[in-house]
Structure 1
């Protein structure tokens, strides 16, 4: 690999980590500084470098910025109206008390098959916060369970973009890959739950109330930083939790509370299904509009505002909820955009391509070649989808000439993309900032979780190689 590109990667990442962990500057500044360092060291012309940063920032926010803002607003309405608490009770009844993390992992795994991780986490995180507050569970653990469930199927099961592209590039059968990906995802779900239960209590004390979206921050402050974020004895949350007192929030029927969440998800799923099954039809055109995540969430927000609050709640109160939500979403949006800017510089400077070409010459079993390429591309530029597509593209001639089963090659590329989600991955910032972690604890939470999934997938690939030949 070109020494200059390697130095660009190392110095850029080092700049980000140093600023975030050891300085008083915010992650937003650190990511932009890392992008500048990487581009300069890689020899990118200054005018082009600035263009890459601005385009990466803008393109990222175009895809997720509106979704984050609308999702936070829906969450705020659910929190203030009592809808999130109603849904939390329903989830616990369905999965059993003490298995809140299992409930969130399973829910995330189902939702993420047709929906991007970022959108799914934004939509479902109010439930995680409510479960943590009501049942005295670590917010970090419940949030981690949700994010892990989303990541597992997003990286393994079509029709998510990465696996679907790999199927086409490697000439695999789509149905076989769906079944194999689901089997692998089911096996990895307990890994997510175990990691969440181990790391959640350990990281809970590192929660920063200033990063938590309201009203979760208030709950954390009231708990005095106690594990699980439970409220003090005698608080309304205790009364609600034990079922003997009055809820701090008004009661809302779970069916009504579910509509602002389920309807956007169903519209997004409808867009995916209709686009695949009836491309070019009138139905597909309609769902292409109303199933766009930003439009679907806007519909969900309008329904939440007019369906959930009691009739006696004044308009100014509801507007205040939305204003507060917009303020709490602002920094998450900016940091997510900066992560996209850094990733764009890494892509345009060809650091990821150089790493992939280097790894393709290593003497390793050929069915692991897509896995290794995806691993290094993911670390270099942050996007799991890009890592899968790059690994499938570069690995296709190798695995086809060696007679590697196409389904195995797809699973290999997808599994490699789990690894080391960190500062150049927008989902890293969505997960950690919504949870309320920064710095080293944030990396222990999410970087550690994705790397654990990456490690757990290696023996599964070995078994798959024996089965698929």
Structure 2
């Protein structure tokens, strides 16, 4: 590989990581600076470099920005209307007594498709505490099951922001990625349950009375943990820009959430997914037919999610919910989605500079001589970025950005590359990840026990995903 292009890549990536980890700036600025550093060192004329950055940013958001915003809005309506809580209770009834951990994992897996992990855990953890108290289950085990279910689909299944951004950056088909991500998530769910059942009883004696005094006073039988949200909200909020404040309130209210029919709560989630997958299936099996034409419109991701949002807004809130209230939910969701949209666009800008400068092609040519299979490159990049800065979403976007030239030049299936980037982002959630604090503090663990609970769980999922990626590589080629 040409020394100048190698230096451009190394310095560009180093700039991104340094800014994210050590400066007061965030991933959006880091990716833009990385693009500038890469272009300048590679010798791209300044006027062309600015053009590459703006076109890469715009082209990426043209395909994925609307979808991210709509997905976050659906999640906010589910959260505020009580729909997420209704889905949780439905799964508990469906799986029955003795399978509370399975019910919580299934609930988390479904709820996390449109709802951020942090919010989903805060909303559903009062139910987890209630199950632990009522059925004498280890609170730690039920909490691991819930958090693991949330993490699995959050990292693997669009329209969660990371996988959705990777689809756009790598040029994959969204319907195919949804199907493949769902299959991989289902195969990882037993790993979550097994880890919860093994580690839950072992970590239960380590519950911190300062974090969960009511639980400790109840002798480990699962007190309501009213003070846990206060502690967890503080820690999580500090790590995540105060985002958990509303979630802590929701957790404190618990059963005060309005009751929603679970079938209605599931509709805004399932219908868009079915329409998107239907577009993929009819496009392949019934190309040129009237049915395929209909699905090509209603199954377009932006249209499908818009339909889901309309259903959520008009079916889930109580009849007396005012317009101002619902608009406030959507405004809040738009604010949450904004930074993810910006980071995704900046990732597209960085990727365009890598392509236009020749760094991407040179890297692809060099890596093709390595003993490591090309499909594992997004996995390894996501792993390193996740450990360096903590955010799984940023790790996925960065891995997709840097590996896009490899996918195009090396003939790697885009769906496989998306799965690899997403799977690599599981690894080693610890103190730099806000979800680590939400999970461990709401559960009532600190120190080494907290690391064993959540860092161990995410790293186990990372390890379990490696053979699944190998199988996917055999199938997808």
TM-score range, shorter chain: 0.5 to 0.7
Given that 1:163 and 1:388 are in contact with CA atoms closer than 8 Å, whether structure 2 keeps it comes out as: yes
Deviation for aligned residue 1:40: 1.2
Does the 8 A contact of 1:138 with 1:228 survive in 2? Answer: no
Do the aligned residues in 1 keep the contact of 2:165 with 2:344 (CA within 8 Å)? no
Contact kept in structure 2, 1:112 and 1:120, CA below 8 Å: yes
Task: Answer yes or no: is the 8 Å Cα contact 2:179–2:277 preserved in 1.
Answer: no
Give the whole-Å Cα distance in 2 for the aligned partners of 1:64 and 1:167: 9
Q: How far does the alpha carbon of each residue in 1:178-201 deviate from its partner, in whole angstroms, 9 at most, with x for none?
A: 999999876655556778999999
CA contact (8 A) 1:85 1:131 kept: no
Structure 1 residue 266: Cα displacement? 1.2
Q: 1:434 aligns with which of 434, 442, 462?
A: 442
Q: Is 1:88–1:131's contact at 8 Å kept on the other side of the alignment?
A: no
Q: 1:329 to 1:405 in 2, by over 3 A?
A: closer
CA contact (8 A) 2:229 2:442 kept: no
CA distance 1:48–1:139, change in 2 (3 Å): farther
User: Structure 1 residues 319, 161: CA separation in 2 closer, same or farther (over 3 Å shift)?
Assistant: closer
From the superposition, tell whether residues 308 and 206 of structure 1 become closer, same or farther in structure 2 (CA, over 3 Å).
farther
Contact kept, 8 Å, 2:211 with 2:441, in 1: the verdict is yes
- Partner Cα separation in structure 1 for residue 413 and residue 345 of structure 2: 38
Note if 1:239 corresponds to 2:250: yes
Distance 1:254 1:294 in 2: 24
Q: 1:128/1:327 Cα in 2 relative to 1: closer, same or farther (>3 Å)?
A: farther
The whole-number CA distance in structure 2 between the counterparts of 1:227 and 1:98 is: 32
Query: Residue 252 and residue 163 in structure 1: after superposition, are their counterparts in 2 closer, same or farther (change >3 A)?
Result: closer
Contact 1:82–1:251, Cα closer than 8 Å, also in 2: yes
453-462 or 76-85, which moves further after superposition?
453-462
Q: CA deviation at 1:11?
A: 0.7
Q: Secondary structure at the match of 2:213?
A: coil
Mean alpha-carbon deviation: is it higher for 58-67 or for 165-174? Answer: 165-174
Shift in CA distance, 186/353, structure 1 to aligned 2, threshold 3 Å: farther
- Call closer, same or farther: CA 1:386–1:218 in 2, change over 3 Å: closer
The corresponding residue for 2:405 is: 397
Check the 8 A contact 1:42/1:349 in 2, yes or no. Answer: yes
TM-score (normalised: structure 1): 0.59
CA shift, 1:94, in A, is 3.7
Distance 1:328 1:141, change over 3 A: farther
Indicate the larger mover: 220-229 or 249-258.
220-229
SS in 1 for 2:233: coil
Could you tell me how far apart the structure 2 residues matched to 1:82 and 1:308 are? 8
Partner of 2:217: none
1:330-369 matches, within 5 Å, as 330-362=338-370
* 1:215-242 residue CA offsets vs partner (Å, 9 max, x unmatched): x9999974543789999xx999999999
Structure 1 Cα separation of the partners of residues 204 and 421 of structure 2: 33
**Cα shift at 1:97:** 8.1
Cα 1:425–1:364, aligned 2, differ >3 Å: closer, same or farther? same
Provide, for residues 113-168 of structure 1, a one-character-per-residue CA deviation record: whole Å limited to 9, x for no partner.
99999999999999999999999999999999999989989999999999999999
What is the aligned partner in structure 2 of residue 320 from structure 1?
A: 328
Q: 1:381 and 1:148, CA in 2 relative to 1: closer, same or farther beyond 3 A?
A: same
Shift of 1:312: 1.5
Report what 1:187 is aligned to.
187
Deviation at 1:465, TM superposition (A): 11
Cα 1:12–1:28 change in 2 (3 A) is same
> Structure 1: which 5+ runs fail to align?
none
- Report deviation, 1:254: 0.4
Worse overlay, 180-189 or 166-175? 166-175
Structure 2, gaps ≥5 residues long: 215-223, 240-244
Question: Superposition RMSD on alpha carbons, in Å?
Answer: 8.9
Q: Post-superposition shift, 1:445?
A: 13
Aligned in 2, Cα 1:197/1:322: closer, same or farther, shift over 3 Å? farther
**Is this contact kept in 1: 2:127–2:254, CA < 8 A?**
no
**Structure 1 residues 69 and 395: CA distance shift in structure 2, 3 A:** closer
- CA 1:184–1:338 in 2, change beyond 3 Å: closer, same or farther? closer
1:39–1:49 Cα contact (<8 Å) kept: yes
Which whole-Å deviations, capped at 9, do the CAs of 1:387-436 have from their partners, x for residues lacking one? Answer: 99999999999999999999999999999999999999999999999999
Give the corresponding residue for 2:385: 377
State the 1:294 CA deviation: 0.7
Q: CA deviation at 1:63?
A: 2.2
Shift of 1:259: 1.2
Q: CA deviation at 1:291?
A: 0.6
> By how many angstroms is 1:289 displaced?
0.6
Q: 1:18 aligned to 2:18? A: yes
Preserved contact between residue 141 and residue 199 of structure 2 (Cα < 8 Å): yes
The answer (yes or no) to whether the contact 1:110–1:153 under 8 Å persists in 2 is yes
Displacement, 1:251? 0.7
Alpha carbons 2:350, 2:401 under 8 Å: kept? no
Q: Please give the secondary structure, in 2, of the residue aligned with 1:225.
A: helix
- Following the alignment from structure 2 to structure 1, what is the Cα–Cα distance between the partners of residues 177 and 351? 28
Further displaced range: 15-24 or 345-354: 345-354
Contact 2:140 2:443 in 1 (8 A): yes
**More deviation, 391-400/27-36:** 391-400
User: Given the superposition, is the C-alpha separation of residues 269 and 401 from structure 1 closer, same or farther in structure 2, using an over 3 Å criterion?
Assistant: closer
Q: State how far apart, in whole Å, the 2-side matches of 1:183 and 1:79 are.
A: 26
- Assess, with a 3 A threshold, how the Cα gap between structure 1 residues 50 and 6 changes in structure 2: closer, same or farther: same
Aligned residues: 462
State the Cα deviation string for residues 54-90 of structure 1 (Å, max 9, x = none).
1221122122211121122212222222112111222
